[in-house]
């Protein structure tokens, strides 16, 4: 755990450097993933099964790769909770799905955009340390609302029955119990059993993220969401136990997770630290929590709230929680974060499960330029242009002049011939 002080200018520069230092993908991970991708591309199902069985205690065969069984529903209480989450996710996706549009340009031509759904997408759902039912909903439901006809889900086996039921209920049309870089390779290249997809979405381990990085261009990739992150900007108007609970909740994801507290109050920092240590010892995943507290926890005393926000934006965290005075006004100024949670009552875990926006968010500083997973990631943006005789007459002179300026006479001729 690091406890830092950024109040003095020279200390601020040092802290800024520490918070924005991003480790490059490990060379051994890069090379290992490269080999896995090559093996699956060349070897298909046989390579996929062999690689899976090398890394997993639960062995599979080509015959058991695809999950064909229909899962029995969980208890009525669990079904109701999943239904409530799914409803909010679907409502948010429907409200934000881009709609076709058209208008006239200044020469009278019709210009616009259509947004057809992708035909076949792959969704990766992590399952190594916990059955992430919420991730199933926050990826597959978006694809379904977008109108994707074929939704392929890959998740490490053995498949948890509740996760399997949630995937089927959300709209997955194919489920395969295989994980890791090899699953990403199978969805990208295709095998005898798994047909290739057009785009791969969803979070995962460093190996999954590296596989997506290397396959970018061969197949569409949403973003590279890795281990969980949270930054909390807080002052003494917040409750230390609530702030600590948010930090511990994200640390619970385990290896690679990063948690940050940025506060101008040294007294409040101490209270949160005590609460984090107290709360983390009580949890079932205490071993994961201890690892994150040792290697991924940073608490910073800042000069003021403005500096705390500046450091938070430099981190560009997956989750940014504003538990301070004037949080709503501050939120409007935030540019670099995956998702912003306003006020003391907005527990980040509500966004993980129930709020509506997908919890698949940019990590590793990518929040400076990337947004989280949206329904828009499952559609194509296609420009549509339609000219008539009158609009061509009004456009030909200008288009011809620009084409000849670039010494592309055939371009000019292709327009001007329509005037003859």
Which uninterrupted H or E stretch holds 322? strand 319-323
Shortest CA distance to 231 belongs to which of 297, 301, 307, 286?
297
Q: Which backbone phi and psi does 27 adopt, to 5 degrees?
A: -60, -40
Q: How far apart are CA 370 and CA 317, in angstroms?
A: 11
Q: Which of 86, 210, 253, 319 is catalytic?
A: 319
Confirm whether 236 is a catalytic residue: no
CB contact at 8 A, 210 and 181: yes
Q: Which residues of 250-275 are buried (b: 16+ CB within 10 A; e: fewer)?
A: bbbbbebbbbbbbbbbeebbebbbeb
Q: How far apart are CA 417 and CA 62, in angstroms?
A: 59
Shortest CA distance to 57 belongs to which of 164, 149, 157?
157
The Cα-based distances of 233 to 59, 76, 247, 278, 299 in angstroms read 45, 38, 11, 21, 10
Q: Which tokens go with 145?
A: 């609302």
The Cα-based distances of 43 to 23, 34, 66, 187, 191 in angstroms read 32, 14, 18, 14, 8
CB contact at 8 A, 154 and 123: yes
The Cα-based distances of 391 to 102, 128, 419 in angstroms read 15, 59, 11
> Tokens 């298909």 label which residue?
44
Confirm whether 359 is a catalytic residue: no
For residue 56, how many C-alpha atoms fall within 13 Å in the half-sphere facing its CB?
25
Q: Which tokens go with 137?
A: 């909903």
Q: Which tokens go with 8?
A: 């003095």
Shortest CA distance to 342 belongs to which of 309, 315, 370?
309
Q: How far apart are CA 217 and CA 47, in angstroms?
A: 23
Q: Which of 52, 210, 318, 359 is catalytic?
A: 318
Which amino acids are annotated catalytic? Answer: 318-319
């Amino acid at each position: 755990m690091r406890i830092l002080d950024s109040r003095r200018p020279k200390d601020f520069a040092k802290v800024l450097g520490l918070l924005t230092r991003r480790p490059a993908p490990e060379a051994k991970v890069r090379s290992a993933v490269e080999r896995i991708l090559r093996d699956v591309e060349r070897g298909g199902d046989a390579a996929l099964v062999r690689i899976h069985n090398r890394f997993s205690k639960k062995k599979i065969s080509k015959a058991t790769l695809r999950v064909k069984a229909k899962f029995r529903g969980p208890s009525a209480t669990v079904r109701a909770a999943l239904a409530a989450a799914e409803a909010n996710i679907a409502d948010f996706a429907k409200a934000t799905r881009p709609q076709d549009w058209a208008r006239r340009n200044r020469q009278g031509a019709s210009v616009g955009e259509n947004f057809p759904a992708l035909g076949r997408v792959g969704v990766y759902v992590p399952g190594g340390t916990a059955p992430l039912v919420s991730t199933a909903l926050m990826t597959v439901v978006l694809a379904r609302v977008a109108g994707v006809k074929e939704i392929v889900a890959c998740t490490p086996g053995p498949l948890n029955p509740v996760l399997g039921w949630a995937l089927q209920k959300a709209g997955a049309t194919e489920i395969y119990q295989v994980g890791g870089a090899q699953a990403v390779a199978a969805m990208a290249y295709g095998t005898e059993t798994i047909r290739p997809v057009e785009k791969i979405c969803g979070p995962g381990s460093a190996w999954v993220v590296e596989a997506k990085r290397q396959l970018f261009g061969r197949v569409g990739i949403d973003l590279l969401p890795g281990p969980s992150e949270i930054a909390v900007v807080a002052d003494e108007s917040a409750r230390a136990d609530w702030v600590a609970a948010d930090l511990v909740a994200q640390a619970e994801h385990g290896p690679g997770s990063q948690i940050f507290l940025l506060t101008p109050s040294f007294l409040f920092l101490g209270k949160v630290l005590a609460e984090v240590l107290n709360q983390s010892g009580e949890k079932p995943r205490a071993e994961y929590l201890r690892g994150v507290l040792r290697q991924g926890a940073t608490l910073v005393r800042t000069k003021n709230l403005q500096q705390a926000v500046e450091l938070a934006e430099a981190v560009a965290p997956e989750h940014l929680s504003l538990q301070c005075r004037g949080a709503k006004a501050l939120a409007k100024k935030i540019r670099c974060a995956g998702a912003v949670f306003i006020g003391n009552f907005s527990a980040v875990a509500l966004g993980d499960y129930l709020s509506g926006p997908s919890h698949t968010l940019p990590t590793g500083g990518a929040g400076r330029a990337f947004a989280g997973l949206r329904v828009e990631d499952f559609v194509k943006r296609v420009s549509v242009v339609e000219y008539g005789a009158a609009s061509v007459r009004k456009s030909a002179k200008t288009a011809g002049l620009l084409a000849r300026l670039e010494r592309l006479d055939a371009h000019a001729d292709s327009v001007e011939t329509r005037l003859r």
